[in-house]
Homo-oligomer: A and B are copies of this chain.
């Protein structure tokens, strides 16, 4: 039996059914480009019969000239009607998609309860709809909804559903565990029975994660003869989500010897999955398998010492195979060896026998106790380690800041910041407005420093997160601010903790500036009269 697996991504359709997932047409086009780059065979783009946004997607995606096949989704024709005049089926044809997923009922209970028609009419709806699309030159993937519940209740009927879909010309017959309640051993038995019933047909699997088994159920179906997998990036999807392709693909390819995508593209999996989570505006769980930032992160002291000897001791694959990397976490569980290896990772020499080393560890532990979390703030951690090593110069002497936000009914809100500091004995008092308080502070601080450090113009804040640390009495509790900053080539994360969100933001902001300017030497400030002299001389 072939070891090639057809990968069908439904992030843009089933994925958007997940809570908190909402994609614009541009978002969908951007994700489609990335999925095409990754090399999935099918990209399900949406439901042309449901809304104008999806119709626009199918129109514009054709202009991209992608290699992946773009798929439109729809249901079988309405009961009692005919396929040729069915509005939704005609929208699929008009969409220009070369392939279509048609969902049909296979659970007799659903035919009676949800569809409220006869078992025979349901078979006709399936046959007519597939046949109509096939006559129009469209490849058809038939998704048999609630297939496993249906099989358990009435195996003969589900087999007749698949037989009719096959007779109508469906290219793939997909068994869907729509409510996600089926166990892996059941999936395996049922898929095996169905495949042997229709040995000439090609079968696929579509699972949901309601029992935390979507990936396992997908593997079980493949082992029983399915060769087409429907899933989503990062497992997005209705309720608990769909089968996560970011886990399914490496499991099939690295562990079980199947072929899903090109090997060099597998090494892009982490990038693509993080890109999709950015576009979907969903925080990726740090512990997401294979692609999460903690997937190859080591915290326990024993593990860390062993990892430093040989990665295979605690890593099941080389992180680079999926484009991820090893990290050593710093935490209260960590011994001195963790911090020293973190310093090594940062390229900083830290003498393990020096009192500097002891000082950094004690300071980090003390700060963690106060609510700092350096696991997400590599920039601030590097500053601490370098500081203890005497490598960090101070940018300025802080004197004060004031931050004012004012809102009057009917007028736009106004944010202003005033920063007083001195650089090399020279005093600066700057004022700036901003779109919000942190932006105003950023602008005022930048104004004071940019003449010394012109490279600040290339840097900007790219993410800002606030976390309340103690939920007992929230606005009076401590908050942790994480700031992500970027320039043309790098990104770094810094942290601030305070009872006051503005003070915490200031702290993280100042750390971000200090990190950005670690290796910069301040320009000499040219006095106006010196400058005038210079101009005369030229």
When C-beta atoms are compared, the residue in chain B nearest to A329 turns out to be B19
A248 to chain B, nearest CB (A): 8
A256 to chain B, nearest CB (A): 7
Contact present for A465 and B468 (CB under 8 Å):
yes
Contact present for A316 and B475 (CB under 8 Å):
no
Knowing A19-B287, A184-B216, A434-B476 are in contact, say whether A503-B332 is a contact too (CB < 8 A): no
- Chain B residue numbers with a CB within 8 Å of A461 are 473-475
Q: Mark A379-411, 1 if CB is under 8 A from B, else 0.
A: 000000000000000000111111111111100
Knowing A317-B181, A329-B19 are in contact, say whether A436-B211 is a contact too (CB < 8 A): no
Contact present for A244 and B462 (CB under 8 Å):
no
User: Does any Cβ of B come within 8 Å of A185's Cβ?
Assistant: yes
Q: Mark A460-488, 1 if CB is under 8 A from B, else 0.
A: 11111111110101111101000010000
Within 8 A of B (CB), among A237-255: 237-241, 244, 247, 250-251, 255
Contact of A244 among B212, B251, B288, B407 (CB under 8 A): B212
- Which of A55-63, A90-98, A437-445 lies at the binding interface? A437-445
- Chain B residue numbers with a CB within 8 Å of A268 are none
Complex formed: what's the CA distance from A184 to B218 in Å? 12
- Chain B residue numbers with a CB within 8 Å of A173 are none
Complex formed: what's the CA distance from A292 to B238 in Å? 12
Q: Mark A282-314, 1 if CB is under 8 A from B, else 0.
A: 000111111011111111111100100110111
Contact present for B434 and A179 (CB under 8 Å):
no
12 A-B pairs within 8 Å (CB atoms) are namely A109-B313, A113-B313, A210-B289, A211-B250, A211-B255, A213-B251, A239-B297, A285-B285, A401-B406, A402-B405, A438-B501, A464-B479
Q: Please give 6 more A-B residue pairs, beta carbons under 8 A apart, in addition to A183-B256, A438-B475, A466-B501.
A: A19-B294, A209-B287, A405-B437, A407-B503, A442-B475, A465-B467
